[in-house]
Amino acid sequence: MAAESILKRLMEAEEQARDILKAAEERAKETIEGARQEAEQMVEAARRETESMLRGRLQAAEAQGAEEKSQHLEKAEADAREFGRRANTHLPEAVAMVVDWVINRGD
C-alpha cells in the first residue's frame, strides 16, 4: 500500500508539473506576443517620427531653394537691366564710331 500511495503522489506531482509547465508555456506565449506588439508599435512610432522629421527638412529645403531661386532671379534681372542701361548709354558712341569708320574707310 505504501508503494501505491507513493506512486499516486508521484503521478499527482507529475500532473501538477505538467499543469505548471503548460501555464508557463501559455504565459511565455503571451509575453512574447505582448513584446512583439510593443516592438511593432515602437517601430511604427519611430517610422512616423522619422517621416515627420524628413517632411519638415524637405519643406525647409524647398523653402530655402525657392528663396535662393528668387534671389538669383532678382540678381539676374538687375544685371540684365544694368547691361541694358550701359548698352543704351554707349550706343550713341558706338554708332558714331561705326559711322566714322565707314566714312574714313571710304577715303
Instruction: List, for residues 42-95, the tens digit of each pLDDT value.
Output: 999 999 999 999 999 999 999 999 999 999 999 999 999 999 998 888 888 888
Q: Is the dihedral of CA 95, 101, 106, 107 positive or negative?
A: positive
Mean of the pLDDT values across residues 22-31? 97
pLDDT band with cut points at 50, 70 and 90 for residue 106: low
At 75 the pLDDT is 95
Looking at residue 28, its amino acid is: A
Provide the residue ranges of all domains of the chain, joining segments of one domain with +.
1-75
d(CA 67, CA 63): 6
At 26 the pLDDT is 96
- Taking CB atoms within 8 Å and a gap of at least 24, the contacts of 42-48 are none
d(CA 43, CA 53): 15
